[in-house]
Chain A
């Protein structure tokens, strides 16, 4: 909701000013010239955890019982670290992780085979309502971390920025032919330079899980299917080399890789009239290059969650829990975002 307001206020420049971490408040209210990666990188990064140091986890005594988690690959390490920290305090609680992708994890929750699922793509209301009907319980979906991905291109490419809209992604051609624009397939469509009319846009990425793929498609072609060739690379090194050697490359990479040799970072421009993002996180104004990662949990229709599950989720939303998120290169929530997620769960906060 807040993001929508921001978008309507004016065009927003994304993806350059907060190169070191997910830019919750990086959106600017006016279109500004793109900032070169070197300039962006020279600014000291704010510590995303400084906001959270007072969010202690206060353990209860006597907790026991199971905490069964299904986790997508993106959040597997965070889940393992949460279990490690939580189990030190509550050795009688039996925690377990079952690998599951973002499609299967919630199904395991609905079937009662796990208590919660960690997924890397959002859940729409229709999907959640269907699960609730099937499970006979309330299903809550809350954000637990963010993953920041940025677009880079071959350094020789004259394109300066990537206009993005929720409907067309970044593939809307700049050329005004009078006819309804088809999705861009060659670089001349995007950079306006006729010398690049025969250079196809080729997307290079890391190996994609289902959630990451969803995010890539959303950024690339909005609500449409992308006509572009996508090449997945097994290692960061191979990806870096491919981006630097392929003149027509377009890469979606972690923001820490924006300074690779032979590539340049591109800002993402959002038009003033863009509609709100489907996966906007409650209480957050993160920009669309920050991919939210979610926890899906089934809640009893009445009464409270079993105490060990509530305690585990409190740990996830505490300073040590968010420290674990940062340890695997993900971006922790802010305190305000945590408050909002707690409210989605029906929890209140003591003041």
Chain B
């Protein structure tokens, strides 16, 4: 835990009081807290000590890190992210190899039982050599780091649910953090990648109140994952009226009609994309003309084709239907033959 407060840090970075309060208001509302809590959030956040955070990237593509650190540029959200004492993140830090590992071990020792552990990427349970950091395999590194953590944030769908590494045929036996760690509070911030403001809001709540947000059944903050994208989609009225784009370049697509027919997963995907949006609130995939692919949900990669409508399901194939026809026909012929034999026997008797 650093001796510098978050308020000191932000002032050192030239953040004005007005901008700071604006951020606190937005974060308070985003967390689902009443707006009257804003002064408390501001006061607590200003006085809060910078918490020690250890970030372990495992089987990941660095998209989550990119999302948090690069997407918005130098916004207050990214400054809050910087305001934490990020003691270990091997993608971002200059040190590497044994030197970096010593930093991690020292930070863990100094803050044992108090640091926040962020994990992005899934954990391979097959051959330990599938993914290693400075000679340490991911599974043992996670267990060791989780042991001294106050709480864990599983960042991105890979850490939250296994994600793309866990998609069929799952060559590495990839699992989520919650599959491995059972005795620590875990917040799943799913998405591929997750929305930056969601992770900063979780961090802000933790820094401000020392608590974690209320979670849904999949361990995600309810404030952001409480409603489907379809529920909050600006194209929803077109769905209700039965106005759909049939292709990505037809008249319906140009008129901004609903993308359900083109495979949009909005009705079964819980995330805040439609409200918080991306790139500083500029847009989100559906607004850009592409259906939601459901990346914040477990197993999204194996959940049918992204361009098949949600109502199609995995009904089988011509082969399975053909086999069913063959079996049904054989049973029908056999039962009729049996009945005919009984008829003949009865007539002969």
Pairing of A with B: no
